[in-house]
Amino acid sequence: MQQNIGFGKRILWWLGQSVILIGGFVLTLNFLPQLSFMFLLLPLFPLLMGILSLVAGLTNRAWVYAISSALFFGWLLAAGFPLSA
């Protein structure tokens, strides 16, 4: 959805993705309080989503952006979840 769009629409996509992501994590933390360490990471997610959106605008290749973003974000979550033990 972010391929070949302007800067204003990319900002709106970033804002929407950030709100949904933070809302999902807050909802998850309500059901799983043992993951409360994620509150420390919540301020980083909009920043990271912004950086990934900026990279998407620079490359303008949807598959490259999608795969690299999924791998990076997945690694970030996988590295953080062992902190709950």
Contact 29, 76 (CB under 8 A): no
Contact 65, 26 (CB under 8 A): no
CA distance 45 to 53: 12
- The neighbour count for residue 74, using CB atoms within 10 Å, is 10
pTM of this structure: 0.71
Distances (CA, A) of 25 to 12, 55, 57: 20, 24, 26
pLDDT tens by residue, 16-69: 988 998 899 889 888 888 877 778 878 888 898 888 888 877 887 778 878 888
Q: Which residues contact 49 (CB under 8 A, 6 or more apart)?
A: 14, 17, 18, 21
